[in-house]
Each structure stands twice: as C-alpha cells, then as structure tokens.
Amino acid sequence: MNVNCLLFNDFETLDLFGPVEVFGKVEGYNINYYSINGGNIISAQNAQINTENVNAIGAGGILIIPGGKGTRKLVHDNEFIQKLKYAAEKSEWCLTVCTGSALLAKTGLLDNRNATSNKIAFEWVKSNGKNVNWKYTARWVADKKYYTSSGISAGIDMSLGFIFDRFGEEKVNQISNMMEYEWKNDKDHDPFAV
Amino acid sequence: MNVNCLLFNDFETLDLFGPVEVFGKVEGYNINYYSINGGNIISAQNAQINTENVNAIGAGGILIIPGGKGTRKLVHDNEFIQKLKYAAEKSEWCLTVCTGSALLAKTGLLDNRNATSNKIAFEWVKSNGKNVNWKYTARWVADKKYYTSSGISAGIDMSLGFIFDRFGEEKVNQISNMMEYEWKNDKDHDPFAV
C-alpha cells in the first residue's frame, strides 16, 4: 500500500509527520512525498523536504493532505485544487489533517459528506466548503473513503483510528506502544471544541 | 534562540518533528537542520530532508537529538560521537528523544547525570552509558542543561515541559491549544514502563 503525502510550502510539520509515523509502522506501507511541481518544499517550521511531482502518484493508496498556513493561498490556486482533486479521486483513501480539509473541500469531493477541521480556523474552513456537513465537535470524522481530522496532533489519533478500522485493536495497540503514545480512541470526544 | 536539530540517516521521524512542532510555536525560536556532512538525510519513514553541515552550528541555542534505528550504527562511529559531543558542549540546552540518549551517553556528557530513554530499547541504551543514572520510569528527565525523553511521542511532552520550565504554564497552554494536544505534564508518570 502506498501512502502518498501531498506537501506544499508552509504546511504544518506535525500535521504530516504524525500520520507518517503511524503509517510507517505498518508492514507493507510505503511512504512517498509529492508536491505540485516536485523538488524541495519548506514546512512552516523550516524543514526542507524533497518531493516528487504530484503527477507521479499512481492509482490506489492513501493520500494524506496536511494543513498549515500555506492552505490560505492554495484554496485560491485553481491548478493546485484541480491536481489535488485528480489525486484524491484516484486514491483508495484520502485523509486530511487540520486545515487540509479546506483544500479537499475546495475540490467539491467533500460535498454532502461529514467532515471536521482545526477548531481555531473552523469558520474559515467552512467558508471553503459550503455544501459540506461540517462537524465542529470531533477529534476526527470518517465518511467512506474520506477521513478528516481536527488540528495538528489530531492527525495521529485519526491515523490510529484508520488503522483500527482496517486492522483492529491489536494492531493499533502494537503501533501506539512502539510510539509510546496513548491513543485518543473516541473520535467524537473533542476537548478543543469550546 | 536557535533550535538546532542534528539529523542522521534512519532517524525516527516523529522523534524530531514532535519537538520541532512545539518549538516552532515559540516566537523568536528559529529551527535549523544539521547533519554530520550536510546534504540530504533520509528518515526511517523515508522523508528526505535537506541539512547544513554540523560544523555550522553556533554556540548557545537548543540542540535536539532524535533516536531511531540509525543510532545502532552511530554509537560505534567515533567521528559522529566526537562532533556530537562538541555540538552538545557548546549548546545552552541539549535535548534527546528516544534512543537519541544512547548517542549522547556515548559522548560521556551524561555521566553521573539522570536520564531516560525508549522503554523497548532500554537495556541497549544503558549499555552505551554505564556511568549514567538511568531512570526507567519517566516520561522525561531534566538534569541541568540535559533533557532526555522516553520513546517517540514522549518528545512532545518533554518539549512542552521544557517550555514550562522556561516560560511557565500560560505559554504551554497556548502552544498545546494551538496543537490541539493534551500535554502529559507529569514527567514521572510513565504508562509504558512495565
């Protein structure tokens, strides 16, 4: 199974590398890094990461879309949104973290689906997907092939939730023990929704 | 304040990017990425990250040393250990995550100090620092300028603990809210020590 991460400048570092850590612990899952033009991408925390061109993403696999301040410009970038839409459509699963759901919403693929996002940026995210059933109080939301999570660290819990849905509790316990991480296993419990 | 991350091939991705996320939320903290020869470093989860040469690290600042399977070779790499020792000595603070403490222990700088590490690899880590006061049950340990944490995700809690020690509770709450992360604030509570 390919885990295909779609990076862009000023993405939020942990949005991406939380899920990457979880999926990197699944045998047979291969993590790959892409961006709109390939080459070096710089995260909001100054990490410079080498990527392949998004056109090289094959069919199937898991697409991961982080959030971060880079999303504020990208929701207005039609080329990016169209390429994201194409990549999301051909993926078997599509997961967003934080304001990554604003980018996915902009493609229209979340229309009439349940989804969530970062709590601080929630109103802005909603404005990018007026036909999405936004759930404010949720650690993460799963709707068919689309998983969306709340802010930053919620991506770790969503990814473990995804593993639970595919492989069951034993696998989740194995991975979270290796990570020394206490999984927040209730997707509807959201202490940051106030 | 410079936050200087020392990378090496097969470092554990979240060991580094958990702390990076926390310190990236402190105004005036600048995150920089280094390795023994500079250039591209590939994490154990296949992220290729661009780095500067370790010789370019200036005096002061916070040095962060992740763990991961790459440490198994590096404890026997005298050039790496000597350069790490020099970088750690001239840093104001030195923080390790997971088996990063085995590398720091190998320099001798942890001798007669309290420290902890990953629970699964604990015996191996101990063998690399026979004069260190290893604490098995600890989420993280602070001893003067040296902070050492347990496995992978514990680096996030240690980093928030470091912020607490420098700036107090309000700052920690601000950062953990932005990260939508519930801080494990008790450094002596370790559910993975069994």
Q: Is residue A8 part of a domain?
A: yes
For residue A165, give the CATH number of its domain.
3.40.50.880
Contact flag A45-B21 (C-beta cutoff 8 Å): yes
- Give the type of residue at A186: D
Chain A interface residues (partner B, CB cutoff 8 A): 12-14, 17-18, 20-21, 23-24, 30-33, 40, 44-50, 118-120, 150-154, 156, 177-182, 184, 191-192
Contacts of A33 in chain B (CB under 8 A): 46-48
Q: Rounded distance, CA B82 to CA B190, Å?
A: 32
Q: Is residue B68 part of a domain?
A: yes
**Residues A19/A158, Cβ–Cβ less than 8 Å:** yes
Nearest to B14 among A21, A45, A154 (CB): A21
* Closest chain A C-alpha to B167 CA, distance in angstroms: 20
SS3 category, A146: strand
Per-residue pLDDT reduced to its tens digit, B39-61: 999 999 999 999 999 999 999 99
A79-87, long-range: CB within 8 Å, 24+ apart, which pairs? A79/A36, A80/A8, A80/A36, A81/A106, A81/A107, A82/A107, A83/A36, A83/A54, A83/A55, A84/A6, A85/A109, A87/A4, A87/A6, A87/A34, A87/A54, A87/A57, A87/A63
Q: Is residue B189 part of a domain?
A: no
Chain B interface residues (partner A, CB cutoff 8 A): 12-14, 17-18, 20-21, 24, 30-33, 40, 44-50, 118-120, 150-154, 156, 177-182, 184, 191-192
Regions of chain A short of the pLDDT cut 70: none
Per-residue pLDDT reduced to its tens digit, A14-33: 999 999 999 999 999 999 99
Give pLDDT, residue A62.
98
Q: Is residue A183 part of a domain?
A: no
* Mutation to test the B interface, candidates A9, A17, A50, most B Cβ within 10 Å: A17
Q: Is residue A76 part of a domain?
A: yes
* Closest chain B C-alpha to A133 CA, distance in angstroms: 22
Regions of chain B short of the pLDDT cut 70: none
Q: Which pTM does this prediction carry? A: 0.98
SS3 category, A170: helix
- Centre a 10 Å sphere on the Cβ of residue B185 and count the other Cβ atoms it contains: 14
Q: Is residue B188 part of a domain?
A: no
- Residue A86: give the domain boundaries: 2-178
How many domains in chain B?
1
Q: Is residue B104 part of a domain?
A: yes
Give pLDDT, residue A194.
87
Nearest to B179 among A21, A152, A191 (CB): A152
Question: From its phi and psi, is residue B153 left (phi > 0), alpha (psi between -120 and 50) or beta?
Answer: alpha
Q: Is residue A57 part of a domain?
A: yes
